[in-house]
Structure 1
Amino acid sequence: MGATITVGDRSVACDGDQSLLEAFLRAGVWMPSSCNQGTCGTCKLRVLDGEVDHRASPLDTLTEEERAAGLVLACQARPRGDTRVALPGAGGPDRATHPLRDLAATVVALEDVARDTRRILLGLDEPLAFDAGQYVELVVPGSGERRQYSLANTAEEDKVLELHVRRVPGGVASDRWLLGDVAVGDRVHALGPLGDFRLPEPADDDGEPLVLIGGGTGLAPLAGLVRTALARHPGREVLLYHGVRTAADLYDEARFAELAARHPGFRFVPVLSDEAGPTPYRTGFPTDAFLDDVPSARGWSGWLCGPPALVEAGVRAFKRRRMAPRLIHREKFTPADTLAGTTEGA
């Protein structure tokens, strides 16, 4: 049974088993969101009128006290009837966003770019409007499972989506499908765009320096963000750190070298944490490399994508260099098959 859900002066239909978040996003109403799995807490709303079913909302993300106070996770909660909600934080439903859509695509290219890492190109039946840094949710054939993968695209690259997928041993999406039996020509069903990991609107982008740190395939959304940022302000200072275990895990060095040749303010810094023996690359952790390179990040914005430990270390490093907390943007991911209810890739 459907319901009407309202935020501010915007009311939309919530059909069948849709979450609050999906209903709002499909109608083009902006909602704060990130993981879409109930693990980050970004999409918390306050229920003003009506009741919801919290479904699988984890207690460590939405506590009993928060539930009693009327808070819900929009990505998990289903309305039990007409419901009115409010955004507890900054921003509002009039913020610009792209409507969430069901997507039909065809696998047009597969490229193994590093150890247990594959680039997958999906040709869309219809172009997708999105912002660099957002992600799509793929439906895993034959399982009913869904997995989230960030786009490495800029918004202009709207007909062929680029995903970077790292193998999770035993993973229903990565191991068995996307690095398993997937083939060029296969049809893929997806949902997108999702997430708020994106640059400010062009009118609000002053061209301040950027530092971006990605772990593993956390490089994917940063690739789109970097290229978008440099297209807007070709002379801006941009540092991109890619943290991996060994040189066998690195990829796209030539792509970023070409970008650096066109933009002298851009620098790509690979950092290896577990390389044995001599190497031409920086070693250690990318957050430490940033601390070594940048004495002050006052006035910079920071972008972090990767496992929770890397993201948390990055936040600490940025704050040590006096970056304003409001300018620190983060996207965490954890393999879905190793931690229930989280994303398998970035």
Structure 2
Amino acid sequence: MSTADRAPVVVAARRTPIGTAGGALRGATVDELAAPVLRALLADVGHPVDGSPARVAGVPVADVLLGNVFGPGGNPARVAALRAGLGEQVPGMTVDRQCASGLAAILAAATAVRAGDGEAYLAGGVESASTAPHRHWPGGDRYTRAPFAPAELGDPDMGPAADVVAAKAGISRQRQDAFAARSHSRAVRAQADGTFDAELVPVAGLGADQRPRPGFTPERLARFRPAFTPDGTATAANSCGVNDGAAAVLVVSERVRRALGVPGLALAAAATRGCDPNLLGLGAVPAMTEVLHGVDTRSASAAPGPPDTVEFTEAFAGQALACLDAAGVDEHTASPDGGAIALGHPWGASGAVLVVRLFSHLVRARRGRTGLSALSSGGGLGVAARWEVVS
């Protein structure tokens, strides 16, 4: 098979509604969230799950790769694959790159397709903050989060680190609140217009994202107090929530896409990079810079102009703005239907949510031909991917 035939393409993309931790999805475990999404992806390309080994256009599903951060362990991707009824032969692998896990899983699937290891993969992420088990260190101290870096190098919590990043980048509280208010208003509008409907898989009785609420103006947001440091600028209203949800895509070879006869999102470039863990929110910057302004080594030509659509995980308004500014991305083009500030941030799933949203914009709605998905994660890491529509 030629190199062109092995090019990875996303041909289906789905997600659950994003629930507020302790809310409508509070009783759904990670595998219960992910399984219906996996089934929906196969149904979308005309291969509903019927109990036999899962196949796409005659090609077996080679693996299920899911990102997850705070789940129960025990390889939730394999559990979800079995719960989805994909067949005992379909394995599963769980990926942890913290908040970037979902996007990292998709890129791992794309790499496997390009390498010729398989031609069809289900990949994405899932998080259930509501059902994450309580953990304790030996001796009884509560385990609240994983170490992102050795303590002697600096391992700040994300909220205080976001305040530092915003201050160093000169992002004012007013600008952060305006950015957050825009995210909220865009999500409310998109929800009312039915923009999300085609990508959603109802689960546990929830058919719509829980977090979007009208009425968040910059003036209202200005009344919120700092959430993490006394003189900080990150608040509960201009930061993401703690959430439950799952998102995944079907990644196939270009050969399989042609056999299906459907349009898709082809992976044009991707990068995973690191930065100072004390400034962990800036991890996306070198990755975004590489895929937007670097050289595409496969074609030995300069990267194209600005993408038509940008999906960036808005963990904190100040941190998101610092990354977008540093990478040369117009803040007004990011998250056109609202981002994580308005929709929520189900950690292990969030990177996959970005690709689902791009698929809806570029393939379902035909609103452009090129897109960027990017986010920062714990430990000073960043992942970015550039996509192009093929048909």
The alignment's TM-score, normalised by the length of structure 2, stands at: 0.24
Higher fraction of strand: 1
Higher fraction of helix: 2
The alignment's TM-score, normalised by the length of structure 1, stands at: 0.26
Q: Which protein, 1 or 2, shows the higher relative CO under an 8 Å CA cutoff with sep ≥ 6?
A: 2
